[in-house]
Structure 1
Amino acid sequence: MREALIVWGGWSGHEPEPCANIVRSMLEEDGFKVYVENSTEAFADPSVRDLSLVVPIITMSKIEKEELSNLSEAVRNGVGLAGFHGGMGDSFREAVDYQFMVGGQFVSHPGGVIDYHVDITKPDDPIMEGIERFPFHSEQYYMHVDPSNEVLATTTFTGEHAYWVDGVTMPVAWKRKHGEGRVFYSALGHVASEFEVPQMRTIVQRGMNWAAR
């Protein structure tokens, strides 16, 4: 049986505990044995290296050196890493090695919660199969991203809320390798209710399964 660890915490505005409960049920539906913790201390446990998947749901927090070292080593040796929105893309602003592993870091969301569209760039990828361009109501993430990411979906800024990014096309979802480990990220998922959008939920669920070894 595949085993997954969810670690939640950080800024409460992202509803980390409700999101962790949703993700837990999704993974259990797919046959995972799931462990849930609410402290980054869980990343330092040597048993992390034996897992199939780690899902961080932590925003604007801090991670200790030994915690990050153990997590990074586990991913480099094949443990999957997957997550969404600020829970993975804005977890530890001071930890550049973590951002290196994720493949990106949140910078801004001009206009706050707005209406925008998500465009599918890899419709033949199993994660995106059957999903077409769709509207979304949430924060439109502007991120610093690794050019080696395999981008699955994008969004284009209009410049309405920040004129200097008018026309910028920004990755929304990507996958990548970090050593032997698979890494998946989606910028969608500001609050738990966004999992009610079928496309968002499907992308995250498939992405987690793809990342898990």
Structure 2
Amino acid sequence: MAKVKAKATTTKSKAERVTHLGKVLVVRGGWAGHEPFPFSDRLVPWLKKRGFQVVVSDTLDAYTDPKIMTDLKLIVPLWTMGEISGEQSKGLIDAVRSGVNLAGWHGGMCDAFRNNTEYQFMTGGQWVAHPGGVIDYMVDDLDPVDPITSDLAPFWMHSEQYYMHTDPGNEVLAWTTFSGEHQGYTWIKDTKMPVVWKRMWGKGRVFYTSLGHVATDWDVPQAFEIAKRGIQWAAGIEIIPEYTDPVCNDCLPF
């Protein structure tokens, strides 16, 4: 009698079982202080594990290359400051308006191309200051219902607290409050500022979080989790939480 060879099986997480979710373009460059390459080194493996095909470009010319821009699901820009040409800008902005989605963080998305107001119109905000530089501050008032921020309690960051000009049409999911203690900016005391938001640009979903000055900011699990969930929302796929922390056990000041 022939022996039947047992078929080996392995148990994989739900995130690992899902594949072929679409093509993501990661564009990295600009000011090196925001660590576009270290961030992409952490981001790209997670994107691939989640099931995306990933294209990485070190030039803004990617936005004008039809071979790259065709059939994109999502763009993740990691490009602080710098200059973008009219053709490059049109390629990016028109793509998002037509339904390619956009997700990013900190200056890599909302402190790029400072002279390009249409880019700022699309992203929903622009950095203007970070009083005190790297400081301790709290992210709070997280939306308890939205899947990007649900089951996440307020948490502390030791990083730049972004003061931004933001679009009132943004759907804000998390906030921070300025103390007015730094650099003599006393008049901003108790000012509440958006930290995380989502919005639409035409047919494209746009997600942004101001958390992520340097790659080690993602060592704060909530910061990385919000970015991952926001990317999934922007891509229009199921948001699979990998970290939850519904109770703040460290909400007292440092």
Give percent identity, aligned residues only. Answer: 54
User: What TM-score comes out, normalization by structure 1 length?
Assistant: 0.98
Q: 2:106 aligns with which of 78, 85, 90?
A: 85
- 1:61 maps to 82
State how far apart, in whole Å, the 2-side matches of 1:24 and 1:193 are: 16
Q: 2:73 aligns with which of 33, 46, 52?
A: 52
Shift of 1:70: 1.1
Q: 1:146 aligns with which of 167, 188, 202?
A: 167
Letter in 2 for 1:109: H
- 1:199 maps to 222
Letter in 2 for 1:43: Y
With 98-107 and 18-27 compared, the bigger mean Cα shift is at: 18-27
Question: Per residue, is there more strand in 1 or in 2?
Answer: 1
Superposition pairs for residues 1-213 of structure 1, below 5 Å? 1=20, 2-46=22-66, 47-161=68-182, 162-213=185-236
Task: Confirm or deny: 8 A CA contact 1:154 1:169 kept in the other structure.
Answer: yes
Gaps of 5+ in 2: 1-19, 237-254
Shift of 1:43: 1.1
Shift of 1:49: 4.5
State how far apart, in whole Å, the 2-side matches of 1:56 and 1:65 are: 17
Letter in 2 for 1:118: V
Gaps of 5+ in 1: none
Shift of 1:164: 1.8
Q: CA RMSD in A?
A: 0.9
Please tell me whether Structure 1 or Structure 2 has the larger radius of gyration of its CA atoms.
2
State how far apart, in whole Å, the 2-side matches of 1:194 and 1:25 are: 17
Aligned residues between the structures = 213
Letter in 2 for 1:202: E
